[in-house]
A and B are shown apart, each in its own frame.
Chain A
């Protein structure tokens, strides 16, 4: 039997939006909140599946195949700034943090 789906109210959506650093205005909240609830209801159906003793499969295949050395890619100096919204010297300028 499935577990009871979690309550997805406006406070929950605002909390999750804060975790995601994603602004959600009241108009969007009114639309998206019920939709999220319906989708999470669907996802909650997984609780009825017996997964006793089953190890999670995070990757699609045999994980040992994917433990290759991480080889970096060389970038030209300044390449990282080419799409910068606001560059300052070799840095990205942002609003004051502290």
Chain B
């Protein structure tokens, strides 16, 4: 089946065309659904497609437009949601057999805000089980394939989100990021992924992995789309006690077109360039990106993050400890998988959890439980939170000197499916550049900065001070405008007009 072309190259262009009546949301939505039907059997980005719900929402937008009603900022634009975001009446599996049949009775706050903004939700996309993974191979259902090379991983855990955007099955997707799970798949799939400051976006309705690290964010084909989507979903939510009161800047999506970065200070951490395991093509692309930023007028200087080498270990102690607590709720009693014929409560718990969880989730629950257990709590969990304070202080000092930090997003380009599944430590090292950003609660973004000799995308990570999404997006947009990497479509996502 030949995939229908998407009529417009970006979320913004599509939204404008729908708002002016140039095209109907129903036509755009049918095009996306047609592309999903043609391309997703190979890619495996979607777990649940809600064609009926999507078309119903699209027709409602078209009717509202025809009646002259005011339209929201995302009116009529089809997008996808990572399957750990609760959607009323629509299955939410978290990529797990534990929740294979779970249907929430409520929308996550992010989902409510998207609906209020007029977005059309095509369905739920694949992920590593309970967001634990860096390749989407831990999904209990099937792996997702990278549209740039279907023998390779799209990254994870928001691999379905990134692949769906890269292959133009939708105009944007919402993912979640605990240690890099938006940014790394964005890098592997050649799209933009934004992890906002911790607290910027309500976590109400996001199935929790690690509560002090999880953050929801957009994956889009370019930076300006990410800014628009971020603006629509960010802001305080009284239903999330960790939701920040900080104001979301108005007109954040109106990024300047002039692209000059005079007066902007860009830092690159010495500890990240060079680094063991960093592929030469990635290092070259990042150095070239730093040169580009300098040519745009920025001052580019080295900085130091002395405790960066401990970020992975710190992250895996804290994240697994919090996960072991969060996933205790899945016990076969109130929701989720229940083991058959358990005759004691203890057996109900242990067998339901053994049957419902995959190996990586089990591994992390055991690690986290160990780190919190008597005799080990101080040496692991308490210690890790002290190191976390040191990592945060490193960033505070760095941001006294510079406005934005630039690093590779991932040490490699997309690796082959199956390459790392039997070596968890090697898989964890895929997050070596991203986890520190979560530990410090900073906003971080990945955008394409080049391609390796095999044609695989390379991601550039930018980080800024807490709540500094506006300058972060401005620098990213300026780079994107001259880098020539945005909007490229992989072989598996051909035929985009505009």
Q: Please name all residues of chain A whose beta carbon is closer than 8 Å to the beta carbon of B63 when the two chains form the complex.
A: none
- Contacting A at CB under 8 A, from B430-451, are 438-441
Minimal beta-carbon separation of B383 from chain A (angstroms): 5
B363 at the interface (CB under 8 A from A): yes
Residues of B within 8 A of A80 (CB): 334
Question: Contact: A97 with B345, CB < 8 Å?
Answer: yes
Chain B residues in 8 Å Cβ range of A90: none
CB pair B386 A94 closer than 8 Å: no
Bound-state CA distance A71–B390 (Å) is: 33
A79 to B425, CA, bound (A): 41
Nearest neighbor of A83 in chain B, beta-carbon distance: B335
Q: Could you tell me if B349 and A21 are in contact, using CB atoms closer than 8 angstroms?
A: yes
- Residues of B contacting A: mostly: helix
Given the interface pairs A61-B466, A95-B342, the reply to whether A22 lies near B357 with Cβ below 8 Å is yes
Interface residues on A, range: 35 or more
A 12-50 to B, binary, CB cutoff 8 A, 1 in contact else 0: 110011011111110010011001101110111111010
Minimum CB–CB distance for B275 against chain A, Å:
16
Asked whether A17 lies within 8 Å of B366 as measured between CB atoms, the reply is yes
A-B residue pair count with CB separations less than 8 angstroms:
191
- List, in ascending order, chain B residues with CB within 8 A of A11's CB: none
Among A8, A46, A94, point to the contact of B333 (Cβ < 8 A): A94
From known contacts A22-B362, A59-B212, A59-B242, infer whether A47 and B353 are also in contact, taking CB-CB under 8 Å: no
Question: Nearest A residue to B383 by beta-carbon distance?
Answer: A46
Question: Which bracket fits the contact residues of B?
Answer: 35 or more
Which residues from chain B contact A47 at a C-beta distance below 8 Å?
Answer: 379, 383
- Asked if A58 is at the interface (CB within 8 A of a chain B CB), the reply is yes
Q: Can you list, as one digit per residue, whether each of B16-51 has a CB less than 8 Å from chain A (1) or not (0)? A: 000000000000000000000000000000000000
* Complex contact A68–B241 (CB within 8 A): yes
B354 touches A25 (CB 8 A): yes
Q: Please, which residues of chain B bring their CB within 8 A of the CB of A96?
A: 344-345
Query: What residues of chain B lie closer than 8 Å to A79, measured between beta carbons?
Result: 105
Name B's A-contacting residues (CB within 8 A). Answer: 101-103, 105-106, 197-199, 204, 212-213, 238-239, 241-246, 307, 310, 312-314, 316-317, 324, 328, 331-338, 342-351, 353-355, 357, 359, 362-363, 365-367, 369-371, 373, 376, 379-380, 382-390, 392, 424-425, 428, 438-441, 466
A35-B425, A59-B212 given; 15 more Cβ-contact pairs under 8 Å: A3-B379, A20-B365, A21-B350, A23-B355, A32-B363, A36-B370, A43-B317, A45-B313, A51-B389, A57-B392, A60-B199, A60-B441, A83-B101, A84-B334, A94-B348
In the complex, the 10 A-B pairs of residues with the closest C-beta atoms, listed nearest first: A60-B441, A23-B354, A56-B385, A85-B338, A51-B386, A57-B389, A60-B198, A83-B335, A23-B350, A21-B349
